Amino acid sequence: MKQNYERFLRQVDGEKLFRRTVELGALEQAETTPCQLRAAEYVYRQLVEAGIPEVERIDFPADGVTAYQDKVMPLAWDASVGRLSFIDDEADRWVPVSQRGISGGDDRAAADFQRHPFHLVKGSTSTPPGGVVAPVMTEAQLLAGADPRGAMVMLEPLTRVGGGVIRPLLDLGALGFITDFVIGRYESPDTLQWANAATESGNWHVTAEDRPFIGFAVTPRMGDTIRRRAASGLEMRVECDGRRYAGVEPAVTARIPGESAKEIWLFAHLYEPLLNDDSAGVSTAIEVAKMLLAGPKPRYSVRLVFAMEMYGYAAYAARRGSRLKDEVVGGCNIDSIGAVKDESIVLYPTGNAKPYAGNALLERAYDEFKDVLKLELGSPTYMDDLFLGDPTVGVPSVWLLGRGRGFWHNSVQCDVDFIDRDTMCRSAAFAAAFVRELAETEPPAPVEIKATAKHSPWRDYADRMILARKEAGFPYSQAKVPPCARIPLPDGMLYGAFAHVMCALDGKRSLAQAIAVAEAETGTEKSEAEVKKYIDAMNHLADYGYIEAVERPEITEDDIAAALRKIGITDRDLVLVHASVSKCGYIRGGAETLIRAIVRSTDTALFTTFTRPYIYLGGPNRGWRYRPFDPADADSVWTGNVGKTVLRKFPDAVRSRHITHSWAGFGPRARACVEAHAPCDPPAGETSPLAKALEMGGKILYFGAGLESTTFIHFLEDAARMPFLSTAICRVKTPDGELETVAVPRHLPGDREFYSNAMECKFFRRAFARGLKLESTPLGMGKVMALDLRQLFSIGMAVIAEDPDVLLCDRPECRFCAKYRR
């Protein structure tokens, strides 16, 4: 390889390589679909000019709906105006500090798409011509209960824009957001972050599911100015002509014929607006292809593929179909290959899903070139476009990734002087030598990963699960899953061992064995909690048809009913239910099955449907889970999927009106339990369902949940008038859509010892010593338990009377409990 490297280094056209990178980067920077079409046409012409044969442009739908390998294609987007301006006579002026084309004038614009495209977040939608004047509030004001309808929200410096932020902003009626989050913030206070993946759906690009928004990125210096002004009242003019529409997303490909029709892929992605991410990679690939074409015909054909990162490659792989596995030997990704002075090239191998010479060649390249180039060996991965190595796709791929300078998605990376011509030439020569060797090397014999079996409760459960892949490609967008039912997949699907586990599913080995293989490949050891997450995710994906459950343990409605009988639950009982569905293992039919089993086995059942409308509870609100109370919003329930399912799937359920601690349920006594609890009564007071259930001789039913979930203890606190109960300030949506601020007395702030390990806490140890009886029976991996409310009340009040501090923890670092301990 080293001899080829030296030969290729003499052949690299550094001037052309550099110029092509800059020209392509300029075309891609605005991110609009027309710019992307021009970029694809530019790459097509460059391939033809370089003499690369079999050049082809392929258009895929950019309609925000079509999914390839569960990657939903983006909506096309265009914009020419995107401007955020001060309008008052005392307006702060733009600080013309940057030399990088971001500032460019002493005017009133805090952000201007024409000044720099990063100022307008991709996917932003239009205002009326001439714009609108909108109030600007800070993130802190929003979370403190300010009404954001029609407002722009200036986010905090460390708040990253994504679904967890955009979704609540739009739920609350905001017009949009302003962000000054920047990687490298303190080294570059006058730069902009490229706000990519700014979507509420979790996709990398806006799809048909995403609601309209307007987003602006500003520099840290400008963000500080806007926050300061907004704290005392600020309006700004918002102008945008952005539009989303159904268009096309092109890919460009070409092929250097080899002795065999089987292909090695050389790929780098299009349509990201940074010179080293990835116009340098595309330009380098063209230069590599030109040098390979000038030499002897390779053993395998070399195909260049340029497409949108992940989504375009999923589309192209899907177009090639099932024959892809036989037609392609493997690939080499040069996305973000070394283009910056003094940076390293990290050599990432692929997983062991399909025999491939690339991994051994990486190790050889490291040994040969470590004294010539700055190289690092990475761990096997399927991240980003290496997802092509998934055996259901069939293109095992290695990655030559440049890493250095500390910037990531920062506008600094758009500067011509950010990239270094000599570094690019060396990287191109190295890539050419590597791909040349790759195209001459036969795949090795399959290697069996030696994985050591480990035992633990959840690993042993996973050993009873045999799963098989049903569809090509890693699940990602969860396009088959209703939005309200989607879950975060472990490791972001692509960025850890979970992808390796997916690759190891073959319908024969157990899930436990697949996890052991993944651990061996990645050099990691998964905790019991991580194994549990993998099991839950696999069950979720099986339920929605992404994988097949060849074998798995299942709990049925009859199994649940039988367990309830074992702990003494009868059809005469009223029960307060705390449930964690997955703690017992897989339930056929999920939360709906559990609800039906409990309802059929009892007289009356009440389920938690608690919400978080707090703007002050022991301190100002800091969490994005805040929503003003709206009884029609099932998504705002935070106490698990069971409560949400009750509200979504069971219209006959009756629900209390309380704005933070409502209960919903079924049965002849349900209405009597919930109707007295007014919206702003104490959450666990004498009018609460807790009090009514006690009066009626009810029980607490724990399904999978532990004693940590015992809300009834707060009823004891209220009855004892504990001093740490305090007033919560909340926001409520009125029937006409307005917001009002209300106070809820005797609320439940702070910490309690039973929140962590209830079985070992002082309160329950003393209660059990006094005779509190806990009925319990195993079910699957968990337990079903019950407590009698009258016994818990009498014993619990005695324990509290004996020691009023019994519910507080003893941790010295807990300031809340320390404040109230006597």
Helix, strand and coil percent figures for the chain, each rounded to 5:
35, 20, 45
Residue reference for tokens 């329930």: 637
pLDDT, one tens digit per residue, over 625-667 is 999 999 999 999 999 999 999 999 999 999 999 999 999 999 9
pLDDT, one tens digit per residue, over 786-797 is 999 999 999 999
Q: What is the pLDDT averaged over residues 668-694?
A: 97
**Helices 511-522 & 497-504 angle (0-180, nearest 10):** 130
Which three-class secondary structure state does DSSP give residue 697?
A: coil
pLDDT, one tens digit per residue, over 20-72 is 999 999 999 999 999 999 999 999 999 999 999 999 999 999 999 999 999 99
Of 479, 509, 344, 323, nearest to 423 by C-alpha is 344
The pLDDT of residue 461: 98
Q: What is the pLDDT averaged over residues 251-280?
A: 97
The pLDDT of residue 99: 33
Maximum distance among all Cα pairs of the chain, rounded to whole angstroms = 90
* Alpha-carbon distances of 55 from 45, 58, 140, 260, 303, rounded to whole Å: 9, 10, 53, 19, 10
**pLDDT at 471 exceeding the cut of 80:** yes
Confidence category of residue 452, pLDDT binned at 50, 70, 90: confident
pLDDT, one tens digit per residue, over 356-385 is 999 999 999 999 998 999 999 999 999 999
**pLDDT at 96 exceeding the cut of 80:** no
The pLDDT of residue 90: 53
pLDDT, one tens digit per residue, over 525-572 is 999 999 999 999 999 999 999 999 999 999 999 999 999 999 999 999
**pLDDT at 408 exceeding the cut of 50:** yes
Tokens of 507: 């319908």
How many other C-beta atoms are found inside a 10 Å radius of the C-beta of residue 652? 7
Residue 106 per-residue DSSP state: S
Please tell me the distance from the alpha carbon of residue 281 to that of residue 283, in angstroms, as a whole number. 5
**pLDDT at 97 exceeding the cut of 80:** no
What is the model's pTM? Answer: 0.94
Q: What is the pLDDT averaged over residues 163-185?
A: 94
Please tell me the distance from the alpha carbon of residue 394 to that of residue 413, in angstroms, as a whole number. 33
**pLDDT at 103 exceeding the cut of 60:** no
Give the chain's mean pLDDT.
94
The pLDDT of residue 285: 98
**pLDDT at 101 exceeding the cut of 70:** no
Please tell me the distance from the alpha carbon of residue 461 to that of residue 459, in angstroms, as a whole number. 5
Confidence category of residue 100, pLDDT binned at 50, 70, 90: very low
The pLDDT of residue 92: 46
pLDDT, one tens digit per residue, over 508-522 is 999 999 999 999 999
